[in-house]
Amino acid sequence: MEVQQFYYDNKIVKKFLYASIFFGAIGMLVGLLLAVMFIFPNLTDGIPWLSYGRLRPLHTNAVIFAFVGNAIFAGVYYSLQRLCKSRMYSDVLSNIHFYGWQAIIAAAAITLPLGFTTSKEYAELEWPIDIAIAVIWVTFGINMIMTIINRRERHIYVAIWFYLATFVTVAVLHIFNSLELPVHGLKSYSVYAGVQDALVQWWYGHNAVAFFLTTPFLGLMYYFLPKAANRPVYSYRLSIIHFWSLIFLYIWAGPHHLLYSALPEWAQNLGVVFSVMLIAPSWGGMINGLLTLRGVWDKVRVDPVLKFFVVGITGYGMATFEGPMLSLKNVNAIAHYTDWIIAHVHVGALAWNGFMTFGMVYWLIPRMTKTELYSKALANFHFWIGTLGIILYTIPLYVAGFSQHLMWKDFDPSGTLKYGNFLETVTAIMPMYVMRAIGGSFYLIGLFVLIYLVYKTVRAGKPVEDELAEAPALKRISASRLKGEAWHTWLERRPIQFTILTTVAILIGGIVQIVPTIFVKSNIPTISSVKPYTPLELEGRDLYIREGCVGCHSQMIRPFRSEVERYGEYSKSGEYVYDHPFLWGSKRTGPDVMRVGQKYSDIWHFNHMYNPQSTSPGSIMPGYKWLFDNKQADFSRIEKKMSVMRTLGVPYTDEDIANARQSMKEQGEQIALNFQTDPDYKDSYLASEKAAKENGQEFVPMSEREIVAMVAYLQRLGTDIKNRVEE
């Protein structure tokens, strides 16, 4: 039998691994800053690119796509070559993938703080970056699939199944969720509106967690855990059941993020049913991982790599039990919009993704430098301080979540909300936010220990960039099933057929849920009184999106007595038909704003946006002082925005578009005039106008400043529902 010699490419693995560590530190530092800003909301007062609303998506994108994403690629490139006994198909494609992915991360790091965002959870990047993501992702997929085709190992191992499912599903999710019409180079509107946009977004959002943060890590678990334990996977049959049931069921579960919302009831119920069913395959994977360690528990006590893997897999089990439980309507009614959800997400992120990555790093670095880890004692210290950090981060947020639920829904004997002022529920959980910041600090200290250990280990070793290997050439056999060959064994040697079947499995759920919602009009009853936004309100809505207000404020009143009493009539699907994108939100750090329109005066909103504590003592909302100085930058683009909206189905007429600027001017002047009901404002404004004229400086009328557009949008919210007529 011919034995062939070849070289594994460790250079690409090292690049992705170092990038993961670097961006992990950056992303978690930003996360810690955000945690501190809950305690000191005006920490970055007056600096727009350091405001909470703009930094939050930077944090999530940096941790998910930069830290975790680069770790996935490092693990895939290392394991795939060895599982296929072949170098990656193309070094050029590998490097295009690496540098292209880092360029995307850099683009996100620049655009998000500058306020260029779609506002869609985990998909905030604007359309040119979305296109770049698709191109680089396909580059990765081609390189991976061609490597599998050129393999020297007959059967594709279980880890590769999960890699293929990840590639196919993320491509489908990203493309369909990112369909948008550009307004200009860094501004677009989603092609979906309201309820449809919400369903597509959470079909994407839930399955981004499933197929970017879960399935690739399951593949890495199936490779690195047996290697580290020097034991075979516990059950091959269980891995088959785990894989196919997981990828089929996961894709249906997205609607459980939208329970009690304006989403059609049948779609909500489908999400609940399939979410509950997910417990079985998820725990099947966890059990398969943990039982792989049977007989080596003594080794686990002393080996930091295995310790990280055990806690990581346990975190996966906890998160994938909690997720289906949260999809039950009675549990969801307690947890949704509270800090319980933040705790749930971070169990998965910090334990499952973080600890699996740390374990993989500690296993890989010594092997790629032909040396021992610099200090197992320090690695064990990292494990314990990281574990303590997870506990101190999550437990206070669980307590905060339950506290929020109980206070939001508490009525006194007279039938009045006991905590009618939302701020009472905020101040009650401030100690929990302090504990969260402490827990996050501990976790970050652990990461810095890892950075030090990697540095010292690499310095002591000798990097092996092209690792010599040899294997027999793969002998081709009949493509048809052999006598006595199990169907799955046959499928494992037919990667193209395997990929096609995987694609079919993940498409079924999406088609069944999304197609009826988009194309069957009866699913979204219209309301005749709901009209498109005026040009100034549309501009204000874009500012609301730019500043990330949706990260703290929901626009979805659920049909609960407590919410109707607190916020007003519950939300209807027809109210959102002109919303591109939807802004229902997923967390209430502040109150829901669905019915805030006309609840307060224009000058109240003016003062609230400038200094929230002046109108709401104890508020942890930061001020948005730049809105008061900035001229409405898109004043000249309003016609283009309205034209794009009309293309998407919003009934703007030619006359509406032609008169847009005049409409903005008139509505803006009226709001600016309303500001003058406050004598202090009037005196200050007139004084600044006089000073500008005396100094020969340009003076921007208040009617043309961004704050006026923001107030116009806020005052519109929820007002269309009055005297509604359902058709």
Binding-site residue ranges for Cu cation: 206, 256-257
Report d(CA 240, CA 590) in Å as an integer: 45
As annotated, the binding site for heme b includes 59, 344, 346
CA 208 to chain centre: 8
* Residue partners of 311: CB distance under 8 A and separation at least 6: 351, 355, 383, 387
Tokens 């009143």 correspond to 557
Provide the Cα torsion 132, 134, 138, 141; round to 10°: 110
Beta bridge mates, 547: none
Pairing relationship of beta strands 466-472 and 3-9 according to DSSP bridges: antiparallel
Extract the runs of DSSP E, i.e. beta strands, from 95-198: 180-184, 187-190
- 26 neighbors 91 (Cβ within 8 angstroms): no
* Residues flagged as binding site: 59, 206, 256-257, 344, 346
Is the CB of residue 677 less than 8 Å from the CB of residue 564?
A: no
Q: Give dist(CA 140, CA 695) in Å, integer.
A: 58
Report how far residue 322's alpha carbon sits from residue 410's, in angstroms, rounded to the nearest whole number.
Answer: 25
Radius of gyration of the chain (CA): 27
Note the residue count of the chain. 727
Between helices 304-326 and 339-346, what is the axis angle to 10°?
Answer: 140
Peptide bond between residue 431 and the one before it cis (omega within 30 degrees of 0): no
* The pair of three-digit structure tokens given for residue 250, joined into one six-digit string: 């996961």
3-state secondary structure of 4: strand
Nearest in space to 581 (alpha carbons), one of 237, 120, 64, 28: 120
Task: Write out the two tokens for 150.
Answer: 């050129």
Question: Is residue 416 a contact partner of residue 410, using CB atoms and an 8 Å limit?
Answer: no
Dump strand ranges (E) for 161-254.
180-184, 187-190
Q: How far apart are CA 109 and CA 128, in angstroms?
A: 14
State how far the alpha carbon of 460 is from the alpha carbons of 264, 372, 375, in Å: 61, 9, 12
- Helix, strand, or coil (residue 118): coil
Long-range contacts of the stretch 636-642 (C-beta < 8 A, 24+): 637/183, 637/184, 637/187, 638/535, 638/538, 638/539, 638/664, 640/183, 640/184, 641/183, 641/189, 641/538, 641/539, 641/542, 642/535, 642/538
CA dihedral for 414, 417, 423, 429, sign (positive or negative): positive
Are 304 and 361 contacting, i.e. CB atoms less than 8 angstroms apart? Answer: no
Residue type, 465: E
